[in-house]
Amino acid sequence: MGRLNGKVAIVTGGSQGMGAATARLFAAEGAKVVIGDVVEDKGQALAAEIGAAARFSKLDVRSEADWAAIVATATEAFGTVDILINNAAVVHFTAIEELKVEDAERVLSINVIGTMLGAKHIAPVMTKAGRGVIINISSVDGLRGCNGLPIYTASKWAVRGLTKSLAMELGPRGVRVCSVHPGGVNTQMGNPMGATGADLNRGYERVPLQRIGEPEEIARASLFLASDEASYISGAELAVDGGWTAGYYQPVLPGAPAGLGV
């Protein structure tokens, strides 16, 4: 408890899923939290649930006006912004031959330009304070390729590269920038059919931990990076994926020791 005492955080895509888990955890650890999202009813309800330590501000991450408004909400209510969690994102499945420009533009504008705008609008506040942390939520697909997800994968690689560029640019001002790379997570995006029980982990047999992740597990990774415990970490990428990017298990060769693949 209290790992973020005295700090103020903005969490985008904060009304549900990983964003909501992050907002709850940060508040429990002593932070004041501003929840930004286009889903207003859930965002308002979450802010009310958290109480005096939270505010909600409507945020379409593609809108500079919305970014200016959420930064103003945070600074007017709580004085400053110490942490930005760029979590808002969308996914889109398509074969490359069926790609539509409007779909690509939507995904890239939210996942990439939205993240850029967050950094643009928060950098002056953090620069003035001489400190701050920006955590960009990328994906396991920002560390590898993924069949059927060309637009989303491209966007998450872009977030990974953007993170490193921002770490170089903002580091001399006392601002740390890192990326978090979730694997499969039990959210509306990661579990769209709402599977439960034995069905929940179906398809994860080849991931080393053999299960889907929970939103709170991603939130705890962000908590560490946002805390002073990570004060000398910047430009880093943290995979929170059950070992997914460590490699895939292969069929065991006849007579080979257990666990030894092709």
Nearest to 187 by CA among 222, 216, 152, 150: 216
Residue 232 annotated to the active site: no
* Beta-carbon contacts of residue 208 (< 8 Å; ≥ 6 apart): 242, 243, 244, 246, 249
Instruction: Give the residues across from 83 on adjacent strands.
Output: 9, 133
Burial string for 191-215 (b: 16+ CB within 10 Å, else e) reads beeeeeeeeebeebeebeeeebbeb
List the structure tokens of 207. 């991931």
Residues known to be catalytic: 152
